[in-house]
Amino acid sequence: MPDRFRILLAQLNPTVGDLAGNADAARAAWREGRAQGADLVALPEMFITGYQTQDLILKPAFIADAIDTLTQLCAECAGGPTLAVGGPFLDETGLYNAYWIFEGGAVKGRALKYELPNETVFDEVRLFDQGPLAGPIPVGPLRIGTPICEDAWHEPVAETLAESGAQILLVPNGSPYYRDKFDVRLAHMVARTVETGLPVIYLNMVGGQDDQIFDGGSFILNPGGKIAAKFPVFEETLRIVDFTETAEGWRCEPSQIDSHPGPWEQDHRAMVDSLGDYFRKTGFSKAVLGLSGGVDSALVAVIASDALGPKNVRCVMLPSEYTSDHSLEDAVEVAKNLGCQLDTVSISGARQAVSEALAPLFAGREADVTEENIQSRLRGVMLMALSNKFGEMLLTTGNKSEVAVGYATIYGDMAGGYNPLKDLYKMRVFETCRWRNANHRDWMKGPGGEVIPARVIDKPPSAELREDQRDDDSLPPYEVLDEILEALVDRDASVAEVVAMGHELETVKRIQNLVYISEYKRFQSAPGTRLTGRSFWLDRRYPIANRWRDKG
């Protein structure tokens, strides 16, 4: 009779700093594993603390509290399956990102992360010490190697584990989402199983943490790169998998293989879940936003409704004399379609009062963008007042195209606590609206159908801060602007390379300059959902004072 080994994999959503809550989730998973006859229950990287902790992990009191929580968890999970869980480890040699193995009320083993990522959103070199290259940990009849997240993206750790007798590789992860990330992960794990000849378990967490969203999508590969199990994306999942010893070694028995939705749905799910978790993990339950009748605020209203439920979303129209009738009509229709509360607060009186107060100082000067920005800032004042009075977090609505070139008013329409569109270019905003109108899923709390009227999507974008204003008065058409920005921002292309794509030199140089001079605005902007590998915040860190320009 061949040996068998049963593992419960826990693709769960921890909360940074909620040590007790995360430990409760680990205990619940362990009890479920015990009920299902598991030999091992495994949770993701740094699960006890939540991930990423950033500099919170450097506080000695937090480290001590986390290790005390792990010690208590070890004692409480003594009479049942082995428990594997991520958390910090501190000794006289340093502070480590560790993976703990608890068995029978004692620490059976501990893996320390060797490859510390130090790019994009990761900064682990300054937070943790590098662990040693070490061997596998025996659990029942198996010797399990545990490369921690980045360890499995490079050859040395897995190779060392295989050479020292590992029979399977269990990879605990805190791997955040960006578009098409699953294919990147899969390619790396296929390389590891081909190199080592061992099965690979890739266990990822789910849930939002500030700008990052962890999408799960855990999977298991047998040698040769064949997928034996595949978990859903974005869903908390507890699942049993069985391994059997064969003449060729241990193999995962065929298990459930979930299909993953396409990138449009995954992006929308990422924005919905990150907003929902940001609210839940910061203690908010209701949102407020300015609903202008434009496409960006309409999409944010939909995302908020899908995340929180329409009854928890307050939409506010803030008209001035420049607000068109069709914008007011479109805002009313969006709110009605969603079932959200809609209030109207005119800024005309406040604008007149501010203009009169400033008139002596502005005398003799022509009206310009200053007066336009006063309107935007008054809207910010009104919305923040509602936020304060009713305890509703204000959502900002600027897309990545606007955020990139500074086409937004600081302390005006940039005011707020979270921006789900921050990493979504304008052309993708249009397409996301069309996708959402045509699709509805069980995880969406908002209604189905055409929630965003076609006219909102198709009309020329305008800030409506002066008569007959259009965005393309100041910027290239969005299909042109986005192509330039994707090259300059997402791919770090040179001006010459962008010109070679067919764009005019002066246009590219102007857009480049706008990106650089808007850095101070982004530095003060709200966090927002990360959808790409070059989002604004931790992915892309530029100086505010910067005189260099690529001349092309």
What is the DSSP code string of 330-361?
Answer: HHHHHHHHHT-EEEE---HHHHHHHHHHHHHH
Residue with tokens 């309409």: 298
Q: What are phi and psi of 181, to 5 degrees?
A: -70, -30
Compute and round to an integer the Cα radius of gyration of the chain: 26
Give the strand pairing for 212-215 and 206-209: antiparallel
* Helices 263-282 & 426-438 angle (0-180, nearest 10): 90
45 tagged catalytic: yes
Provide the strand spans (E) within 338-428.
341-344, 393-394
Q: Could you tell me if 85 and 55 are in contact, meaning their C-beta atoms sit under 8 angstroms apart?
A: no
Q: CA 68 → CA 45, 63, 64, 97, distances in Å?
A: 18, 9, 6, 16
CA 150 to chain centre: 18
Determine how many CB atoms are found less than 10 A away from the CB of residue 245.
16
Amino acid at 506: E
Catalytic entry in 74, 77, 103, 113: 113
- Spatial separation of the C-alpha atoms in residues 338 and 335, rounded to whole Å: 5
Q: In what order do the strands lie in the sheet with 137-139?
A: 137-139, 142-145, 168-173, 200-204, 219-222, 226-230
Q: What is the DSSP string of 303-322?
A: HHHHHH-GGGEEEEE---TT
Q: Which residues are bridge partners to 9 per DSSP?
A: 42, 239
Q: Are 176 and 197 in contact (CB under 8 A)?
A: no
- In angstroms, the first-to-last Cα distance of the chain is 70
The amino acid present at 241, given as its one-letter code, is V
Say which of 103, 115, 124, 149 is annotated catalytic.
149
> Which one of the listed residues 45, 115, 333, 372 is annotated catalytic?
45
Query: If you ran DSSP here, which 8-state letter would residue 526 be given?
Result: P
Burial class (CB in 10 A: 0-12, 13-18, 19+), 541: exposed
- Catalytic positions: 45, 113, 149
